[in-house]
Amino acid sequence: MKLRVDPAALEELEQAEEYTTKEFGEFVANAFRLAMADALEEIAEFPERYAPIRNTIRAKVLHPYPFSIIYEVVQDTVRVYAIAHSKRKPFYWRDRT
């Protein structure tokens, strides 16, 4: 499936990478980037793998990192709405859907 990432989700990803690099160093940041790339690839290949969390919206938790990829399948496209930190306000990304 095609993967479409919302600009706000891209910004969240950049912020998460910057924070991880600053707080934990380049080694952990690289591991985070690899985990995120693998997760996005998995979602594109198997979008129905993760159960809906709200109507048709799904989430993949990015273990061991405190982030979830919030997405929805729309026809032949996986739309990523947020790279949500687990400590942020729940469903803050709702207006993006």
CATH at residue 61 = 3.30.2310.20
Rounded CA Rg of the chain:
13
* Domain ranges, residue 54: 2-86
In-domain check, residue 96: no
Q: Which residues are CB-contacts of 71 (< 8 A; sequence separation ≥ 6)?
A: 43, 47, 57, 58, 59, 60, 78, 79, 80, 81
Model pTM score: 0.88
- For helices 7-24 and 26-45, give the axis angle rounded to 10 degrees: 150
In-domain check, residue 97: no
In-domain check, residue 95: no
How many folded domains does the chain comprise? 1
Q: Which of 55, 48, 16, 56 is nearest to 32 (CA)?
A: 16
> Which neighbouring-strand residues pair with 61?
68
Q: What is the pLDDT of residues 77-89, one digit of tens each?
A: 999 999 998 887 7
Q: What is the pLDDT of residues 39-52, one digit of tens each?
A: 999 999 999 999 99
